[in-house]
Amino acid sequence: MLAALGFTTIVLFLLLTMTKRVSVLIALVLIPVLTALAGGFGGELGKMILDGLGKVAPTGIMIAFAVLYFSLMIDAGLFDPLIRGILRVAKGDPLRIAVGTAVLTMCVALDGDGASTFLITVSALLPVYRRLGMSPLVLSGVVCLGAGVMNLIPWGGPTARAMAALKLDSSQVFTPVLPAMAAGIVWVLVASYLIGLRERRRLGTLPPADVPEEHLVGEGPGTQRAPVHPALTVFNLVLTLALLAGLVLQVMPLPVLFVVGFAIALLVNHPTWERQQELLERHGKSVVLVTTMIFAAGVFTGILTGTKMISQMASAFVGVIPDSLGGHLPVLVAITGMPLSLVFTPDAYYFGVLPVLAETVSGFGGSPAEVARAAILGQMTTGFPLSPLTASTFILVGMSGVQLGEHQRFIFKWAFASTLVMTAVALLTGAFSL
């Protein structure tokens, strides 16, 4: 019954949000509450929700202050040279912008953290998209593809979890899928080219000189920005580079870095109380929109985990695999991994489902390492920037200004194609067998 309730919760959520019957926030909170009540968990509901909120609290804090930090830096014009450079190279061409978005995303994603990747790339590129009139869905979609493929690196979430769950090392899990990852990178560039080509046909090519300069920061016509002293620009650049270095080196927890970094930046850039309040009021809406989604996702995952719906769903999934498919389990895992990212949290899949799958394939004479390689090609690799069960998804859609359902409909087929391309290359190169 718990498995049925869990699958019902997921299906109702996807159905109601993708058809825009209710907002994502309402669906994240009320649907699991109702299914938990239907399952007789009313007395434990409060504790499960608090546990879920507690787990996402550090992420919510980080996002709140990161959004404020990068909003401040955009206002201060820190990213203007980068934006001008991108526009100069792209020459107002949406196709080049889309490909450039993929390249920038994959470079930034080398740190292995989806949240910081989305914060940095969307903050830098959203003004460019607004300036050219490009759809923000193209931005969220291409960033999704680039970050997804780069999430294969050993210090990224999927590979690290797979190695920990099955007690394997990177030479057993990551090294054999390097050719598949390379193919995934090529596919992301091809996909961004095709998406950009479609956007070019919709908009045409717009020379940068034809766009008023006041649109540079995406504030709309008539926006005037006070000139920034060069010394302040240098300070902002040094502070941002130091913050990014701290993120990569993990000198402090991410929420702490952004809290301290924003406080310093706010004091230096807006030394008076009135100007500080003005900035907080101007960007408070963006913070509320993103963080409320993060905490609503905490309610969702807290209930599904606390009621054991997730674990029962994992058992039910493994139980329906026929013996005749046992020998083909790695391929099945790779192909189904991406859609299953919409159903399972990363921890639930890698620490709950994957060990059972590995044990199953061992019974058919296969290697658990093959299952691990197959899992990282789909589950939470191309799927994590689409999943409502991953907090960083709401950073991407929230900062891009798109609805989760629209984002999923727009990029799902491209993301799933990434998994198929990498799976095909993995089969050809012997990362796992058919």
Q: Are 86 and 208 in contact (CB under 8 A)?
A: no
pLDDT band (50, 70, 90) for residue 225? low
Collect all residues with Cβ–Cβ distance below 8 Å to 251 and sequence separation of at least 6.
Answer: 257
Stretch 259-268: mean pLDDT: 93
pLDDT for residue 37 is more than 70: yes
Q: CA-CA distances (angstroms) from residue 290 to 58, 62, 326, 397?
A: 14, 11, 42, 8
What pLDDT shows up at residue 179? 93
What pLDDT shows up at residue 219? 44
Which range of 75-79, 313-317, 380-384 scores highest in mean pLDDT? It is 75-79
Which range of 299-313, 343-357, 382-396 scores highest in mean pLDDT? It is 299-313
pLDDT band (50, 70, 90) for residue 323? low
* Low-confidence winner among 239-243, 300-304, 422-426 (lowest mean pLDDT): 300-304
Per DSSP, the three-state class of 370 is helix
What pLDDT shows up at residue 110? 72
What pLDDT shows up at residue 379? 61
Q: Are 319 and 9 in contact (CB under 8 A)?
A: no
Stretch 184-202: mean pLDDT: 94
Q: How many CB atoms lie within 10 A of CB 387?
A: 23
Stretch 152-167: mean pLDDT: 77
pLDDT band (50, 70, 90) for residue 143? very high
Tokens at 261, concatenated:
């970094």
Stretch 391-405: mean pLDDT: 85
What pLDDT shows up at residue 337? 78
Q: What is the pLDDT of residues 89-104, one digit of tens each?
A: 877 789 999 999 998 8
Collect all residues with Cβ–Cβ distance below 8 Å to 175 and sequence separation of at least 6.
Answer: none
What pLDDT shows up at residue 210? 46
**Average pLDDT value for the chain:** 81
Q: How many CB atoms lie within 10 A of CB 186?
A: 13
Stretch 354-373: mean pLDDT: 78
Tokens at 236, concatenated:
């902002």
What distance in Å separates the CA atoms of residue 263 and residue 257, rounded to the nearest whole number? 10
pLDDT for residue 50 is more than 90: yes
Tokens at 190, concatenated:
């091809």
What pLDDT shows up at residue 215? 40
In the chain, % of residues over pLDDT 70: 88
In the chain, % of residues over pLDDT 90: 22
What pLDDT shows up at residue 135? 93
Q: Are 152 and 158 in contact (CB under 8 A)?
A: yes
* Low-confidence winner among 4-18, 165-179, 357-371 (lowest mean pLDDT): 357-371
The DSSP result for 78-139, as a single string, is TTHHHHHHHHHHHTT-HHHHHHHHHHHHHHHGGGS-HHHHHHHHHHHHHHHHHHHT--HHHH
Stretch 323-351: mean pLDDT: 74
pLDDT for residue 364 is more than 80: no
What pLDDT shows up at residue 211? 43
pLDDT for residue 65 is more than 80: yes
Q: How many CB atoms lie within 10 A of CB 141?
A: 29
What pLDDT shows up at residue 376? 87
pLDDT for residue 420 is more than 80: yes
pLDDT for residue 218 is more than 80: no
Using only C-alpha atoms, the chain has a radius of gyration, in whole angstroms, of 22
What pLDDT shows up at residue 212? 41
Which range of 117-121, 250-254, 343-347 scores highest in mean pLDDT? It is 117-121
* Low-confidence winner among 35-49, 162-176, 375-389 (lowest mean pLDDT): 375-389
What pLDDT shows up at residue 217? 42
Collect all residues with Cβ–Cβ distance below 8 Å to 142 and sequence separation of at least 6.
Answer: 98, 101, 102, 105, 188, 191, 192, 195
pLDDT band (50, 70, 90) for residue 221? very low
pLDDT for residue 249 is more than 70: yes
The single-letter DSSP state of residue 229 is: P
Indicate the residue type of 246: G
What pLDDT shows up at residue 309? 84
Stretch 12-20: mean pLDDT: 78
What pLDDT shows up at residue 27? 86
What pLDDT shows up at residue 205? 58
* Low-confidence winner among 190-194, 264-268, 300-304, 359-363 (lowest mean pLDDT): 359-363
